[in-house]
Amino acid sequence: MHVVIIGGGFAGMASAARLAKLGHAVSLFDAAPALGGALSQVQLDDFIFDSGPSTTLLPAVTRDLFRKSGRPLEREYELVPVPVIAEHRFVDGTSLALTGGSRAGQKVAFEALGEGLGHEWVGYVDTWGEVWERLRKDYLERPWDPTMASPESKKILASRLSLTKRLRSAFTDDRLALVAGHRFTSEGHDLRRVPAWLGTLSYVEQKFGSWTSPQGLGGLGAVMASRLRTRKVEIHTSTPVLDVLVRGGRAVGVRTAAGEVAADAVVCAVDPRRLPALRPLVKRTRSTSLPHLTHLGLLDDGAADPPGELVLHGASPLVLRHGGSAPEGRRVVTVQSRGMVPADVLDEMAARGHDLRDRVIARLDRTPETLTREWGGSPLGVQWRGSGTVRRRLGPDTPVKGLYAAGAHATPGSGLPFTGLSGALVAQAIGPA
């Protein structure tokens, strides 16, 4: 079969590598001059910054992708655990270092915030272990099939309980709720509309830890692109797909500025709202907004290695990440902010007790509008609007025959592990050549 993939972000590349390995002839189209989407890097002088992701949960997903499509990941790219996933600094001056991969470590850290809080935290995280196992089998690792899924999984996904409500009943201290909800608030979601079962990410973080690469995680995009060349995927960069061709209720190809390309199957790994023929399929979903990114090249202050993420809580959290690379005696940091005047970001950080102003030697600001244009949509995918979002987003298959959906806007959602899994789901749904 000839499969056309629209979008060469992590999801499109994961789909392409797996489908090529299954024996299909695969063509991949990307609007940008290079593959990777959000999984890429930007350069300013001698500083290189991760453009989007700087850490990943579940490295097993990436390892599996490499093993199933050729040489193992370890031969080409280094992933290392992040000892401190995030340091949270709260407005009352207290702070918490959230470690990954250890229940006992997390218990001690939370206990230091207040007596009994360690017990509260691990009690909350423990409740997600079984939920995770069920969803993993029925929803994340094989295309959802109500006739095969367990009644428990169906109940979990249908539940209308919100994460806000779950956190309110789990914790006596607001700081724990801030930590548990951080992944979602920092991605611009409203916790009242995020389903409670997404609390499973706290379990995943605790059990498997968070991972990064010494050269910055953005470099993984280039390694994946080279895997596609090895698998003989036909790559067309700087070639936006303008629409999917649907005839007689079936996807038969795509249209680009250079003309029509016929296909036996089409995989949409971009925001489907951008393709006119697909818009009606997703009219009840919305895209998640992007943050403002401030990339800073800094003079090194000789301090210990920074945590994976530094979260300065306040009216709207400021998130500092260190993914990328810098010359000797220098450091990189990227600040994610929402809802504040970007020019004030450094002053606001100083007001929150983290003053970098004297160390800045290079600065690059990227607005949400610039990022949306660069990436052709939001790599943060669909905004959570209650439990129904699971049914309203597409993927791995869709109501149109021969059309499949992967990526942040599809099942099972945004983030590298989940977009990686979406590629595996699409490959299962299409099957071997």
Q: Where does this chain bind ligand FAD (CB under 6 A)?
A: 6-12, 29-32, 37-39, 52-56, 240-241, 269-270, 274, 290-291, 336, 375-377, 379-380, 407-408, 414-416, 419
Question: Cβ 12 to ligand FAD, closest distance in Å?
Answer: 5
Nearer residue to ligand FAD within complex by CB, 111 or 374: 374
Question: Cβ 108 to ligand FAD, closest distance in Å?
Answer: 25
Contact 325, 48 (CB under 8 A): yes
Nearer residue to ligand FAD within complex by CB, 38 or 310: 38
CA distances (Å), origin 85, targets 132, 196, 245, 334, 366? 20, 22, 44, 16, 24
Question: Cβ 182 to ligand FAD, closest distance in Å?
Answer: 12
Nearer residue to ligand FAD within complex by CB, 80 or 433: 80
Q: How far apart are CA 359 and CA 340, in angstroms?
A: 22
Using the structure block, give the residue that is written with the tokens 């806007």.
409
CA distances (Å), origin 90, targets 108, 174, 275, 321? 18, 10, 42, 17
In the chain, % helix, strand, coil (3-state, to 5) comes to 35, 25, 40
Q: How far apart are CA 433 and CA 422, in angstroms?
A: 19
Q: Among positive and negative, which fits the CA dihedral 218, 219, 223, 225?
A: positive
Q: How far apart are CA 410 and CA 394, in angstroms?
A: 5
Nearer residue to ligand FAD within complex by CB, 331 or 393: 393
How far does the chain reach from its first CA to its final CA, in angstroms?
A: 6
Sequence-distant (6+) residues with CB within 8 A of 358 are: none
Question: Cβ 219 to ligand FAD, closest distance in Å?
Answer: 14
Which DSSP category does 146 fall into? Answer: T
| 27 strand-pairing partners | 4, 234
Question: Cβ 332 to ligand FAD, closest distance in Å?
Answer: 14
Question: Cβ 43 to ligand FAD, closest distance in Å?
Answer: 17
Nearer residue to ligand FAD within complex by CB, 82 or 149: 82
Question: Cβ 323 to ligand FAD, closest distance in Å?
Answer: 8
Nearer residue to ligand FAD within complex by CB, 138 or 205: 205
**Quick one: which of 61, 70, 153 has its CA closest to 423?**
61
Contact 364, 332 (CB under 8 A): no
Nearer residue to ligand FAD within complex by CB, 270 or 390: 270
Question: Cβ 324 to ligand FAD, closest distance in Å?
Answer: 12
